[in-house]
Copies of this chain bind each other. A is one copy, B any other.
Amino acid sequence: MSEVIEKGKLAKKASYQIGTCTTKEKNEALLKIANGLRKNEEAILAANRLDIQAGKEKGLSASLLDRVELNQQRIAAIADAILQIIDLTDPIGEVLETIEKDNGLKIINTRVPIGVVGMIYEARPNVTVDAATLAVKTGNAIILRGSSSAIHSNLAIVKVIHEALEDSAVIPDAIQLIEDTSRETASELFRLNAYLDVLIPRGGKNLIDTVVRESRVPVIETGAGNCHAYIDDTANPEMAKEITLNAKLQRPSVCNSIESLLIQSDWFEQHGNDLIASLMEQGVTVHGDARIVEKIPFVQEAAAEDWRTEYLGLEISVKTVANVHEAIDHINTYGTKHSEAIITETAAHAETFKQKVDATTVYHNASTRFTDGFEFGFGAEIGISTQKLHARGPMGLKALTSNKFIVSGEGQIRE
């Protein structure tokens, strides 16, 4: 039996155990994991050094090595995050609906764990802890499939988690790490419908595209964000500038940063020069339409593909539009339905934009950078779903739950 199938079976079986643990039992287990990580900091850092060394030998980029690297502060932060998860309300067991039928049947729709969650991810070993502890909190078993670049760290972390769970009411088998990080084990996960209820990819576009294309297991698609800010004719110039700079520059590498700016033509004539100059001052390369290129020096002419491009860095595409309707059409055509903002003092335009733009999160006079489970107050974030099914937008604990109808009768049969 392959490693994936064997661990799939173990996780499935364990899901029935962890799924019936009480909130107290799950929280006690989480506390033991947090303490275990602190106590075994040295062993984890030693394993992490092996990953870093192997990464350097393989010639991994500095930014990738940074994502793999752990240190005392990072481990402390990971352990602290577990304490926050302990404080969150356990969603399991929540009554979603109660239906009483004329024939006396009582139907209760309750929130239950999903069962077995698969997580396929890159580099960052903190995802291992994050995903495992969110699974414990929600009563799910989990199969973790990280990347080869962090395998020593992941093994050390999961060893600590298993030791912590040995001493808890939660069965250690609920957390499974796939040790073989070859492509074959990813492919096996894509076909593990017998044991896996959902597969969540966390990582770059290539990983997500591969999982969406190849998985037969239901997927929650996360990630891609070709986000826009639209500056309307009545936008406050100071506010427009602050939001644009924040949404582009506060953390350019993440999915809720803007990649494209749409500017109403009259506003552009008055304030466009100043706004674009302030972006360039911050080192942002600007790809503009013909009108912008003509008016402002050092703007590159945008190619057709620029409107679809998620730069994830110090670049932006800028287009002038006639009005809010043209902006909405552009966004619905080129956007990835993640986070979209309008800056305007015209309430009716804001309303139209909020209603017609198709995205997980639509902003009026605020930065797109707020699309985040912690910013929304969920206390945790499994990722940001960009699909319409199951969960959309920042996903908190509830995204790791399903429902079950429980029906009580006294012998009712259907006529």
A interface list, Cβ under 8 A from B: 16, 20, 99, 101, 105, 107, 109, 114-115, 193, 197-198, 212-213, 216, 218-221, 236, 239, 242-243, 246-247, 250, 332, 350, 354-356, 358-367, 369-371, 375-377, 387-390, 392-394, 402-414
- Chain B hits for A369, CB < 8 A: 413-414
Shortest CB-to-CB span from A17 to chain B, Å, is: 10
Shortest CB-to-CB span from A191 to chain B, Å, is: 9
Other-chain contact of A410, B365, B393, B412 (Cβ < 8 Å): B365
| CB-based nearest B residue for A109 | B393
- Chain B hits for A393, CB < 8 A: 109, 403-405
| CB-based nearest B residue for A352 | B20
- Chain B hits for A114, CB < 8 A: 388-389
The answer to whether residues A412 and B115 also contact, given A376-B107, A392-B403 and a CB cut-off of 8 A, is: no
B392 with A362: CB separation less than 8 A: no
- Chain B hits for A406, CB < 8 A: 354, 361-362, 364
B218 with A407: CB separation less than 8 A: no
Other-chain contact of A388, B197, B247, B377 (Cβ < 8 Å): B197
Shortest CB-to-CB span from A126 to chain B, Å, is: 21
A362 with B218: CB separation less than 8 A: no
Other-chain contact of A359, B356, B361, B404 (Cβ < 8 Å): B404
15 residue pairs from A and B, CB less than 8 Å apart: A16-B358, A212-B216, A218-B389, A242-B413, A246-B414, A247-B413, A350-B408, A360-B405, A361-B406, A365-B410, A367-B413, A370-B412, A389-B402, A392-B402, A393-B403
A412 with B366: CB separation less than 8 A: yes
A363 with B16: CB separation less than 8 A: no
Shortest CB-to-CB span from A352 to chain B, Å, is: 9
- Chain B hits for A220, CB < 8 A: 389
| CB-based nearest B residue for A15 | B358
The answer to whether residues A361 and B405 also contact, given A376-B99, A389-B198 and a CB cut-off of 8 A, is: yes
- Chain B hits for A216, CB < 8 A: 212-213
A362 with B212: CB separation less than 8 A: no
Other-chain contact of A362, B99, B362, B371, B404 (Cβ < 8 Å): B404
